[in-house]
Amino acid sequence: MKHITFLLILLTFNSFACNQVSEAKEEVFAKIIRRDSEAVDIVIVYPDKFENAKVESFSFVLFQDNEFFMYVDSSILKHDSGAVEIDLDQCSWSYIAVKESALDDIEIVVSYRWPPTEDGTVVVCGPEKRHKLSEIIKN
């Protein structure tokens, strides 16, 4: 009976941890780096770590008429700013090019994992941060 109780407690914790969502907008920002008649090129910068959890994945979610339309995983780019003139100390970044009229329809999702290990041993999913792209653009 003790083992069943322990498993139930563990499963409850795991479900809570995997579904924890944070809305802190001050830690993530986006910057338009190029505009043309077709699209805007945007860099999204976010912390490598959040509450002792390490960044695991980054995705874009597209809505049409306020309904889910598409979910796309993106590359996580580390510390090599290249042509992007942004301070990337302890941050990662991702890139997207979209029609400017679609900015209100895109949400970004940054997922983190515990523990923050490099070798991938015993990983527990961590918090997930969601933001509307149009709300975090700084220019």
Question: Within 13 A of 48's CA, how many CA atoms are on the CB side?
Answer: 11
Tokens describing residue 39: 């699209």
Distance of alpha carbon 8 from the chain centroid: 30
Task: For residue 50, give the CATH number of its domain.
Answer: 2.60.40
Q: What is the pLDDT of residue 133?
A: 92
Q: How many domains does the chain have?
A: 1
Q: Please say whether the beta carbons of 70 and 132 come within 8 A.
A: no
How many angstroms separate the Cα of 46 from the Cα of each of 29, 64, 75? 7, 25, 13
Tens of pLDDT, residue by residue, the chain (139 residues): 544 433 334 333 333 344 444 443 347 889 898 999 889 999 888 888 887 788 888 888 998 888 888 888 887 776 555 555 566 667 888 888 999 999 999 999 988 887 756 776 666 778 888 999 999 998 6
pTM comes to: 0.66
Question: What is the distance between the alpha carbons of residues 45 and 42, in angstroms, rounded to a whole number?
Answer: 10
Range of the domain at 91: 2-136
What is the distance between the terminal CA atoms of the chain, rounded to a whole angstrom? 58
Closest CA to 85 of 93, 73, 96, 75: 93
Residue 2 DSSP SS3: helix
Question: What is the distance between the alpha carbons of residues 71 and 127, in angstroms, rounded to a whole number?
Answer: 18
Q: What is the pLDDT of residue 75?
A: 77
Question: Within 13 A of 64's CA, how many CA atoms are on the CB side?
Answer: 3
Read off the amino acid at residue 36: D
Q: What is the pLDDT of residue 87?
A: 62
